[in-house]
Every structure is written in structure tokens, then in C-alpha cells.
Amino acid sequence: MLRRRSEVEDLLRRDAPQVLGALVRRYGHFASAEDAVQEALLAAARQWPGQGVPDNPRGWLIKVASRRLMDQLRADEARRRREEDAAALTPRDAFTAPPPGEGRAPSEDDTLTLLFLCCRPELTPAAQVALTLRAVGGLTTAEIARAHLVPEATMAQRISRAKGRIKGVPFRQPGPEDRDARLAVVLQVLYLIFNEGYTATSGEALHRADLAGEAIRLTRSVRRLLPQEGAVTGLLALMLLTEARAAARTGPHGELVPLDEQDRTRWDRRAITEGTALVEEALSQGPPGAYQLQAAIAALHDEAPRSEDTDWPQILALYGHLVHRTPEPMAELGRVVAHAMVHGPRAGLDELASLEDQLKGHYRLEAVRAHLLERAGDTEGARTAYQLAAQGTLSGPEAHYLRTRAAGLPS
């Protein structure tokens, strides 16, 4: 039975990590294996919509990718010598997988192993994100380049350098002694991908649904492997509860609509229901961390039928726990907003003063200042702050919103 192209693409992205894991386990050449898998994915994307999906799609991909990889290895004399020496140079248990079509299917754990590999600490955050989207997400270099608004050649160089940095690294999960720290890096990379999708840091589009959706898909994969990890459950809940508002965040011309002005009937209630249930589960899985607390805050926003029904005292209490747990400037800024909603804009401005050194020059500091000054009746101060914030952001929709807000203030 033929499948729609979108269904084929979903299947390919879901199988990509296991296919790559099988090749890396067997041959050990991450960069060459990843290129071969990309070629197999492209071949499937061309053939399957018209010819139908094979009975064993993952086995088909492994077989095709293995052939491509072997062709690459045989075409290069030096690489052929490394292949001949691989048995002597490679630990027996480092890169093992059954031959394509034989034995057990590649383990789902390959997804997590690949994430650990792509998020090694010696890589820069930008390289971690790019390599994760390429190797685990199954995106092409061109797709990743478009998402980050850089030329394809630039992204190709970034990915190539990242592959070079992890060349020779064994394909296995980290040991117990550093697993938690490495998992924290994996979750941080997924969080960065989601944030860039939900609120693009530059360009004319506020929301990049492909990136946000990919982050959610990958986080779901990690949760299937680690269902008892509260941080993983909390991160997935946070993503779902945040993305649930996406449809209401922009107006008919792509303009930003702030949270308190959104049409809440356009929020995705199914995602909110799932996210809220995950928050409750995450909070039962041990002491709450940053993701669980942020998810609980998002749930309180999403559960309020109207903006004025928001439980700001409870949100302020949660922010208090969050900044104590993770003293990070953006969390502090969120706490200031909650403080102002509970105690008034002047009290919020007093609290904002304590962040001047940490966030000096950041447009979000000026945006919050402008909002609080407007609420306090200081229109001239608010206008200046809105204009400064608009000058500081690289996001077209955010800058347009801030300038419009400044222009709409009475003289």
C-alpha cells in the first residue's frame, strides 16, 4: 500500500538513528556512515512514495546504506586499508551489529547513544545542535542551513568540523560516572533546538514549526528510553505546553501576539492535556529540576481560561524555586514579571534593577522594563525602553511588535 510523502518522511526520520547506529556499530566510520545513511534516506524518499514502502523499511535502509558505505570505502585506497585493519584496531565489542536483514533489529537505544555522541562536551553548542539535527533528526544539510539562516556551505563546514572532532570516539553510551552530566547536555541541546523553533532568534519568521516539532519528536524518543527520568519527562511537558500556544502567537500578517492578548480558543487543548499529565508525572519522579518547574509554570498559564484568571501567586512561588535551583538570568527575568503581576509594576521595576549588571544590553531586559513602565503610567520611559528593545533584537516580528507598542503610546 502506498503512503503519502509526509508519512514516508516521518518514517524515515524515525528510523534514521537506528540505521546510522547499525552502520557505526558495524563499521566504526561515523562520518562516512552518516553520509551513506543520508544517501539511503534520499533514495527512499524518491522511491517509496511511488513504489510503496518495503515490508522491512529499516532493513531496506540498512542494506542500501551499507552498500553505499562499502562503495565509499572501496573507492578510497587509504580507507580500504583502514577497513582491512579494523578487526585488529577496533575493540571486539565496540562496533558490533548483525548484518543487514539478519539477527535482531537495531536497538532503539541507538537513538540515545547517537545523542550522547552528537552532544559531546568538546563540541560547541552550535555544532552539537547541527550534528544532532543531521545525525539523529535526519534533516539534510540544506534543511539545517535554512533553519539557521546560514548558507548551506557554511553549515556543511560546521557539520564536517563536528564530525572531525568525534572521529574515533567509540559508539557507546557514557559510563555511570558521567552519564547524568552527559544527559544534561543532551537535554540542553534539545531545549535549544526547541527554543529556536518556538521563537526564532533572527529573521522574519517568529515560529519555525519544523525545528520545534523535531525537538519534540526527539525528546519523545529519549523519554521512551528513559521513562523514569523526571528531567526528560519535564522537558517534554514544557515543550508540549509551550508549543500548544503556537497558533495564537502570531496575527494574520505574522505579527507577534503577546500571551495576555492571545485567543485561547486557538490553543491546542490535546497538547495541553498531555503536557499537564506529564507535569504531574515529572513532579512525582524525584526532586523537581529546572525543566519540571518551568513545565509547571507553563501548565498554570495554559490552564487559565482567561489572562486575568492566571494564578500569578503560584507562578511567583514556582519561579522562586526555579531561581534558587537554577540562578539563570532569564529565569530571574521571569520571576520579576511574576513579582510585578502580584505586587504591582513599581515593585517589579525595583526587582528589575538587580538584573542590570547581568543583562546589561540585552533586549529582553528593556522589553520587560518597557512593559512595566507602561503599566506604571510612565509612557515616555516606556517608549524609550520599547525602542531600545526593538534595536536590540534580530527577530523581525519581535522588533515590529516593540516598535508598534512604542508608537501606540500616548504622547
Question: Are the CB atoms for 110 and 21 separated by under 8 Å?
Answer: yes
Question: Are the CB atoms for 128 and 35 separated by under 8 Å?
Answer: no
Give the pLDDT score at 17. Answer: 82
Question: Are the CB atoms for 160 and 145 separated by under 8 Å?
Answer: no
pLDDT, tens digit (0-9, with 9 covering 90-100), for 116-128: 888 888 888 888 8
Using the predicted structure, report yes or no on whether residue 89 has a pLDDT greater than 80: no
End-to-end C-alpha distance for the chain, whole angstroms: 66
Average pLDDT, the chain: 86
The predicted model scores a pTM of 0.78
Q: Which of 83-92, 146-155, 192-201, 397-406 has the lowest mean pLDDT?
A: 83-92
How many Cα atoms are found within 13 Å in the side-chain-facing hemisphere of 236?
24
Question: Are the CB atoms for 307 and 277 separated by under 8 Å?
Answer: no
pLDDT band at 133 (very low <50, low <70, confident <90, very high): confident
Give the pLDDT score at 140. Answer: 78
Using the predicted structure, report yes or no on whether residue 252 has a pLDDT greater than 60: yes
Question: Are the CB atoms for 237 and 295 separated by under 8 Å?
Answer: yes
Between residues 109 and 231, which one has the greater pLDDT?
A: 231
Between residues 90 and 388, which one has the greater pLDDT?
A: 388
Q: Looking at the chain, how many residues does it have? A: 411
pLDDT, tens digit (0-9, with 9 covering 90-100), for 155-202: 999 999 998 888 888 888 888 777 888 888 899 889 988 988 888 777
Closest CA to 119 of 165, 176, 64: 165
Give the pLDDT score at 11. Answer: 76
pLDDT band at 84 (very low <50, low <70, confident <90, very high): low
For residues 199 and 85, what is the distance between their CA atoms, to the nearest angstrom?
48
